[in-house]
Amino acid sequence: MTEGRIARRFQALRAEGRAGLVTFITAGDPDAGTCQALLNGLPGAGADLIELGLPFTDPMADGPAIQASSLRALHAGASTKRTLELVRNFRRGDADTPIILMGYYNPIYSYGVDRFLADAVEAGVDGLIIVDLPPEEDEELCLPALKAGVNFIRLATPTTDDKRLPAVMANTSGFVYYVSIAGITGTASAASSDIGAAVARLKRHTDLPVAVGFGIKTAEQAASVARLADAAVVGSAIVTRIADSLDAAGKPKAGLVEDVLGFVAGLAQGVRAARG
């Protein structure tokens, strides 16, 4: 695979001597127009990489906040095709910020793997995080993705032992996403000492950058992770912020985009100050 946006972004972060901020929102949440405005505004608010959730009816690894965001998006008409359209529109104004699609295999399988990868590359997608495809299933999507020039980013968890890690790392590219707690997203936070030890262990198995997520809700927590890892990932806290700015009918209140981007800016400030 040729070097892409993800590798270039982490090289730039290393040159700046800091960790990155990876932000997650669900494609089409709470509606296509609001989501597009959020997506387009994230880099300016300080997001270094963006994870865009592929809406799915049964997001089993996600906690209540992200599950709800997926259902809101689907209710508003989100689809895999429309997710790629969001990326395509984003690329008209931003050629550099990496976008990673995160989700489950079913929507991609239904779309058709070859067609999906061709359309994803054309739209400007840089990577995939597919949480329900283990290394034993690499021929399904991972290897075709790598062949198409799309990074396949793997999750490692506190229960991924040294015996398992080589298999997890075998075809991983872009970065490794360390899930700092066992369980579903958005529920708890890990201790810094545990994160530091886990990042060091992963670094013994890979030269790839390590991004750490799950449970980061504040600028202070983002900063503490940024001192230990190559990037801090924030998802549920941003998605919750979106939900908190909806009215009783689930429609966005005035100022939603500005409020959410302001929250992201605070997280980015924490990450940037971590090694200052």
Catalytically active residues are 51, 62
Q: What are phi and psi of 105, to 5 degrees?
A: -70, -30
> Pairing state of beta strands 155-156 and 99-103?
unpaired
- The DSSP-derived string for 59-120 is -TTS-HHHHHHHHHHHHTT--HHHHHHHHHHHHTT-SSS-EEEEE-HHHHHHH-HHHHHHHH
- The 8-class DSSP code of residue 137 comes to G
Tell me whether residue 206 is exposed, middle or buried, using C-beta atoms within 10 angstroms of its C-beta: 0 to 12, 13 to 18, 19 or more: middle
CA–centroid distance for 208 within its chain = 16
CA distance 64 to 157: 20
Contact indicator for 66, 59 with CB cutoff of 8 Å: yes
For 34, what's the count of Cα atoms within 13 Å in the CB-facing half-sphere?
29
Tell me whether residue 121 is exposed, middle or buried, using C-beta atoms within 10 angstroms of its C-beta: 0 to 12, 13 to 18, 19 or more: middle
CA distance 192 to 241: 24
